[in-house]
Every structure is written in structure tokens, then in C-alpha cells.
Copies of this chain bind each other. A is one copy, B any other.
């Protein structure tokens, strides 16, 4: 709505609006300008920064690539096309195309029509079944929403709206499965400072579908709390999810620490885009590459423990 004006007569947006739009603090934006020479906003009649639409678009790409592990020093020098190319290459869109276009999604988000959004999602879930919904559809929709943000079609707020609805739906679906006493008992969570919740829910759904007894601690659990909870609940498997935003090393260190603190009898599983980069393996940690492998890991565990 704001950022689609091409030029002429609408010079651009202020630094506060940019902070909201991109999700990068004012101080950081000013430092980028000082250090890397980009962005290079115009100035209004009173010396305040005014960011034209093309710079905003470029910044959106930069932010996106940074969330996937890119670094400002490299990214801020590149022109728009180069960034676009990088973004197109990176996402391991992987095997399934999932839902091809999902063009119904963006308009619904822009209108903030929560009811119909929920309806459409629920309909797809019912039609495809929980497994395909989780493995194919949700990842495809996530991609669509992410792309929509990059291109300026939708705002962060609307992205939250989407996440919220998918969460609601998955939670009630999981609750509906209602298997309480099956084995193994799996503890799901993410480490401290890792707030991405969707991946966790997807895994929980897949596990619940196979009859596992899931206990989710939500996001951002410190290692010590994970250990305590695992002991208290008699957990047999601890499963962690790491989003793309989570730095390489931190993931590795948390896993090492957790592995040491946890009883050797408890299995430790780790998955998510945050592990794709460097560190391949930590001793005693079962790596889960893709959502499809969740079922495999579970089957293996059952075979081993029997």
C-alpha cells in the first residue's frame, strides 16, 4: 500500500516506517549507511532520511538473505539482480512442489480475512489429511508468504496472522489425535533465543500421527530447563528444531551441552534449516534432514528399543 508508489510525487518512507517494514533497527540502518554506503536515503526538507521505494525493495531482499545466514558486509554491496539470483538459488525448495501457486493466500492476508483464511486452511487439511498437509502444503504456503513479504505484497503483521492460523489449526489437529500413552515419550522444543515455532509444530504433528506421546515446551527453552523437564516427565526422546536464522555454532554448542547433560538413555534428535550449513554431526545426536525423515527416525527408535 505504501511502498508500491514508483517515484515522482511520493519520495519515500521515513526511517521509523522502514524499521517497522524491514525489521531492522534505526541504529543499525544508520550504521549500515555510514559503513557500507547502502542504503543511501534522500533527505527531506529538514534533513531527515527518506528511503525511496527501490532501496526499500533491495533492503527486503538483503534482510531475507540475512535470515538465511548471509552477512551485511557482502550483501549490502550487491545490486538488486544479484540478490534476487541468490535468493532464487538458495531455498532448498526440495522435492515436493506442494501447492503450486497458492494464489488464494495473499489476497486473504491482505484483506485480513481471518475467518476465510482459517476456512481455506481447514478445508485443505481435511482434503489432504494431516500428513500431506504438514509435509507438502504448509511448507509451500510458508514459501509463498515469505516471497510475498520480500516482494512487498504483504506486511510482517500479515505474516504473523498467517502463522497464528496455521498454529491454531495444527494444534487442534494434534489435540484431536488424542493419543496419550503411546511410546516413545518425546519432548519437543527450541533452544533459547530461537522463537520459530512452526517447524516444531510440524514435527509434533508427524510424531503424533505415528502414535508418539508428544510433550511440547514451546520455544526458547534454556538447556537447563530442557534437562529438568526431560527428567521430570520421563522423556525418552528430546527433539530440537533450529530455524535458518539460528547460527551454525550456537546450534552445535547447544547440542553438545545438551547431550552431555542428558541421560545417555535419552535420544536426542535435531532438525531444521539451521543445521544445513556447516557442522554435520554431533556425537550422539540423530540428525533429521527433512520432514519426511521424522517417521523414519521414529521407526528406527522403535526397532532399536525393542
Contact = CB atoms under 8 A, between A and B. Distances in A.
Interface of A: 112, 114-115, 164, 171, 175, 218
Contacts of A164: 164
A44 to B, nearest CB: 19
Q: Is the interface of A mostly helix, strand, loop or mixed?
A: helix
A114 B170 CA distance: 13
B115 A171 contact: yes
A228 to B, nearest CB: 14
5 contacts: A112-B218, A114-B171, A115-B171, A115-B175, A164-B164
A29 B84 CA distance: 39
Contacts of A112: 218
Instruction: Identify the 5 closest CB pairs spanning chains A and B, nearest first.
Output: A112-B218, A115-B175, A115-B171, A114-B171, A164-B164
Number of copies: 2
A248 to B, nearest CB: 23
Nearest to A114: B171
Contacts of A115: 171, 175
A18 to B, nearest CB: 15
A114 B169 CA distance: 13
Contacts of A114: 171
A136 to B, nearest CB: 26
A152 to B, nearest CB: 19
A171 B218 CA distance: 26
A13 to B, nearest CB: 15
Contacts of A171: 114-115
A204 to B, nearest CB: 13
A244 to B, nearest CB: 22
A115 B114 CA distance: 19
A106 B257 CA distance: 33
A218 B115 CA distance: 13
A154 to B, nearest CB: 15
A52 to B, nearest CB: 23
